[in-house]
Amino acid sequence: MRTILRLRKKAARQRGIQDRIADFITAFSGSMRFLWLHVFWFAAWVTLNTGRLGIAPFDPFPYGLLTMIVSLEAIFLATFVLVSQNRLSREADFRADLDLHIGLLTEHELTRSLRMLDAIKTSWEIANDADAELAELEQETLPEDVLAELERLQQRAAHKLPES
Tens of pLDDT, residues 28-54: 999 999 999 999 999 999 999 998 888
Burial of 91 (0-12, 13-18, 19+ CB in 10 A): middle
**Structural domain includes residue 164:** no
Does residue 143 lie in a domain region?
yes
pLDDT at 22 over 60: yes
d(CA 151, CA 144): 11
Nearest-CA neighbor of 26 among 71, 108, 73, 83? Answer: 83
- In this structure, are residues 38 and 30 in contact, taking their beta carbons and an 8 Å threshold? no
Closest by CA to 82, choosing from 17, 11, 26, is 26
From residue 29, alpha-carbon distances to 35, 53, 70, 75, 120 in Å are 8, 31, 13, 13, 62
83: pLDDT strictly greater than 90: yes
Confidence of residue 161 (pLDDT cuts 50, 70, 90): low
Residue 57 lies in a domain: yes
* Domain membership flag for residue 128: yes
Q: How many residues does the chain have?
A: 164
**Ranked by mean pLDDT, which of 73-77, 88-92, 120-124 comes out on top?**
73-77
In the prediction, which pLDDT does 73 show?
Answer: 97
Query: What does the pLDDT read at residue 141?
Result: 78
Backbone dihedral angles phi then psi of residue 125, each to the nearest 5 degrees: 55, 45
71: in domain = yes
Domain count, the chain: 1
Residues with Cβ within 8 Å of 83's Cβ and at least 6 positions away in sequence, in order, are: 18, 19, 22, 26
87 is in which domain, residue-wise?
2-159
State CA 131 to chain mean position distance.
41
